[in-house]
Amino acid sequence: MKGKDKGWLAGVAVLAVLGWWHLGEVRMGAAGCGDAWLVGNYLLLLAAALAGTGLCGWLSWGGKQKSGRWEPAKIYPVAGLFLGLLYLFVLPPLSAPDEVSHYISAYQLSSHLLGQPSNSEDGHVLVRARDWVLEDVHGDYVYGEEDGYLTKQGQDKGSGAVVLGRPLTEETYRTLHGMSCGGRGYAYQGEGYENKLAVSPYPPVVTTPAAYVPQALGIALARLLSLDSLWLAYLGRICNLLFFVAVTWLAMKRLPFGREVLFGVAVLPMTLHLSASFSYDAWIMAWIFYFTAYCLHLAFAAGQVRARDVAALALVMALVGPCKIIYTVFLGLCLLIPVKKFGNRRRWLLSACCVLGTCVCVLVLVNGRTVSTYVASETENYIGWAEEAGYSLGTLWTQPWQCLRLFVNTVFWQSEQYHLTMVGAYLGNLDPVLDVPYLLVMLFTACLLLLSFRKPGEQLFLSGIRRYWVWALCLFCVGGAMLSMFLAWTPVGANVISGVQGRYFLPFLPVLLMSLKNDTLVLTKERNHKILYLMCCANAYAVLRLYSIVSMRL
């Protein structure tokens, strides 16, 4: 191997030095709580981070095939799985945003797949009694038997219990360590609890069940094998990660250009954290990535649009649209495909009706009740979390200037927050302590911009009216996210729209970055493999730092 091919070793060396630095913090945390095994686990994590980063570096920098350097689509499965697993184990089950609700939804679907009872009479999900510990770590509730199922007694459902990983502290690691070593794993210790079903205090998410198929398969496998709660939680997460990496890889292969941009977005800390959790954000991001790639392939690489292409576009949008209606805006990417590729205008119109009609039918079937609720509350609305009146659709017409001021204030005051939470701030359950350092956030941002710049000899695809159309779709999607939170989450007394998070912008970030390529900013050399490797090293460091933070969070 030539000397110039060994540059990736510098990344491993720097990571080793920084990892050794944080070892001191882990030791301080272990000394403070008496859990010496924290140091051993950290050393294993450091070894895994160094080995995985080294492999990614060799593949992207030093590894060669006969045809030359490895392509991003060939490196991504390794990098995506390696980094995703690191985040999965450092940020444990149910610690991601709203993850307990997604976990319950996946559990409900697993019961349907296994042909077992899934819900009690009041609609709450039934789980194995042994799995109650994930939702009530300390066994704080008093349980009793009702209608043949174990249920919580004497308190309102969904309040008071400590959910695993919320908040994420050293005690969470201690609980996981105890469970992995055969310690207490059951919140209910009554007679015959092993064969009991229990009523979860948390209701499932109202959306398409398809969004929880990967997670449910992992849970179903654990239940079939009679594995404990810890295995059940991790298998559900791992299956979700495998699904995300697989579909994103397929999207990367289909892209006619910008594969390195998709790679970069797929290894952002927030993307990895969500894809390695129970969240249906992994489902949304993966399918939007694939839908974008398919549209760009048909627009710029394919010869003719076939019936199966139309069917694939309709199916993908039907799978993702009901999860978050705002992303149906990206049906507009189909308009990038020239009419002549359909054969004639009649076939183009028929194809458009098939894709749009399928999406609308599924939306009405899954989200009809939700939409009708917003329409019905045109004159009044109530925000439960704030215990105040909220805005309604009627407010947009009766007080347009007040609403416009609120939207403008949100853009000016919250843009920094959206940027940080899109890249990697407020990981865990929106925990301000669990974040990626600001310098790393800026590093990831700079890497994405460099990946999006035009390289020498690179053809410019998204230019002119196509570029403006992509920007318009992204703007409509941002506006849709703000409008939905304006109606569902913002009290009248607020100065900005509440509830919008930067992670909502991840699905369309790749195509937005691809549209930034221009003739004005052109890099003199192509260094994508070095930039992507740098992002992998930065992620490995972020994981080591997160572990040290949690270890000292007593």
In the chain, pLDDT over 70 holds for what percent of residues? 92
Q: What is the DSSP string of 149-167?
A: EEEEESS-TTSS---TTSS
Least-confidence region, from 80-89, 379-388, 405-414, 438-447:
379-388
CB atoms within 10 A of CB 411: 13
State both tokens at 431. Answer: 């925990």
List the helix and strand counts (H, then E) for the chain. 19, 8
**For the residues 401-419, what does the mean pLDDT come to?**
92
**For the residues 450-466, what does the mean pLDDT come to?**
90
Nearest Cα to 244, choosing from 271, 221, 204, 210? 271
CB 198 within 8 A of CB 126: yes
More confident residue, 95 or 383: 95
Residue 133 has a pLDDT of 84
Taken in order 420, 424, 430, 433, is the CA torsion positive or negative?
A: negative
Q: What is the pLDDT of residues 342-351, one digit of tens each?
A: 989 999 999 9
Q: What is the pLDDT of residues 486-517, one digit of tens each?
A: 988 888 888 999 989 999 999 999 999 999 99
**For the residues 81-87, what does the mean pLDDT come to?**
97
Residue 47 lies in a domain: no
What is the band of 160 on the pLDDT scale with cuts at 50, 70, 90? low
Q: DSSP state, 455?
A: P
- The partner residues of 68 in beta bridges, in order of sequence, read 65
Mean pLDDT is highest, among 137-141, 213-217, 227-231, for 213-217
Residue 394 has a pLDDT of 80
**For the residues 145-165, what does the mean pLDDT come to?**
70
Residue 384 lies in a domain: yes
Residue 164 lies in a domain: yes
H or E stretch at 108: helix 99-114
**Which single residue is written with the structure tokens 């993966």?**
286
Inform me whether the pLDDT recorded for 376 exceeds 60.
no
Which SS3 state, helix, strand or coil, does residue 504 take? helix
All residues at 6 or more sequence positions from 352 whose CB lies less than 8 Å from its CB, including other chains: 334
For residues 511 and 373, what is the distance between their CA atoms, to the nearest angstrom? Answer: 33
Per-residue buried b or exposed e for 134-157, using 16+ beta carbons within 10 Å of the residue's own CB: bbbbebebebeeeeebbbbeeeeb
Residue 3 has a pLDDT of 44
Least-confidence region, from 217-221, 313-317, 524-528:
524-528
Last residue of a domain, one of 237, 254, 280: 237
Nearest Cα to 450, choosing from 536, 524, 537, 539? 524
For residues 352 and 165, what is the distance between their CA atoms, to the nearest angstrom? Answer: 45
Residue 27 lies in a domain: no
Inform me whether the pLDDT recorded for 372 exceeds 70.
no
Least-confidence region, from 38-42, 81-85, 155-159:
155-159
Residue 312 has a pLDDT of 95
Residue 243 has a pLDDT of 98
**Which single residue is written with the structure tokens 């969500």?**
274
Last residue of a domain, one of 237, 258, 290: 237
Please give the residue range of the domain that contains residue 449. 377-523
Residue 145 has a pLDDT of 77
**For the residues 51-64, what does the mean pLDDT come to?**
81
Residue 1 has a pLDDT of 41
Tell me, what amino acid is at 36?
A
SS3 for 375-404 is HHCCCCCEECCCCEEECCHHHHHHCHHHHH
Residue 158 has a pLDDT of 46
Residue 260 has a pLDDT of 94
All residues at 6 or more sequence positions from 94 whose CB lies less than 8 Å from its CB, including other chains: 100, 103, 134, 135, 163, 164, 165, 166, 233, 278
Residue 186 lies in a domain: yes
* CA dist list (Å): 247 to 80, 139, 204, 277, 431: 11, 39, 25, 16, 29
Residue 156 has a pLDDT of 47
Residue 427 has a pLDDT of 93
Least-confidence region, from 60-74, 353-367, 467-481:
60-74
Which SS3 state, helix, strand or coil, does residue 111 take? helix
Q: DSSP state, 255?
A: -
All residues at 6 or more sequence positions from 430 whose CB lies less than 8 Å from its CB, including other chains: 97, 501
For residues 242 and 248, what is the distance between their CA atoms, to the nearest angstrom? Answer: 10
Residue 66 has a pLDDT of 45
Residue 187 has a pLDDT of 53
Cα-based torsion angle of the residue sequence 444, 445, 447, 452 in order, rounded to the nearest 10 degrees: 140
Residue 249 lies in a domain: no
What is the band of 62 on the pLDDT scale with cuts at 50, 70, 90? low
Burial class (CB in 10 A: 0-12, 13-18, 19+), 419: middle
| Mean of the per-residue pLDDT values of the chain | 88
H or E stretch at 126: strand 126-128
More confident residue, 272 or 138: 272
Last residue of a domain, one of 185, 209, 237: 237
Which SS3 state, helix, strand or coil, does residue 144 take? strand
CB 415 within 8 A of CB 509: no
The beta strands (E) that lie in 22-76 are given as 64-65, 68-69
Alpha carbons within 13 A on the beta-carbon side of 338: 9
Burial class (CB in 10 A: 0-12, 13-18, 19+), 261: buried
Burial class (CB in 10 A: 0-12, 13-18, 19+), 195: exposed
Residue 248 has a pLDDT of 98
CB 507 within 8 A of CB 327: yes
Residue 159 has a pLDDT of 53
Inform me whether the pLDDT recorded for 142 exceeds 80.
no
More confident residue, 309 or 7: 309
More confident residue, 412 or 141: 412
Residue 350 lies in a domain: no
All residues at 6 or more sequence positions from 98 whose CB lies less than 8 Å from its CB, including other chains: 205, 279, 429
Q: What is the DSSP string of 207-220?
A: S-GGGGHHHHHHHH
Cα-based torsion angle of the residue sequence 295, 300, 301, 307 in order, rounded to the nearest 10 degrees: 40
Q: How many domains does the chain have?
A: 2
What is the band of 382 on the pLDDT scale with cuts at 50, 70, 90? confident
State both tokens at 278. Answer: 């129970």
- SS3 of the chain: helix, strand, coil, percent, to 5: 65, 5, 30
CB atoms within 10 A of CB 121: 9
Residue 431 lies in a domain: yes
More confident residue, 445 or 322: 445
Residue 94 has a pLDDT of 93
Inform me whether the pLDDT recorded for 65 exceeds 60.
no
Which SS3 state, helix, strand or coil, does residue 68 take? strand
Nearest Cα to 258, choosing from 268, 266, 246, 269? 266
What is the band of 375 on the pLDDT scale with cuts at 50, 70, 90? low
Burial class (CB in 10 A: 0-12, 13-18, 19+), 538: buried
Residue 2 has a pLDDT of 45
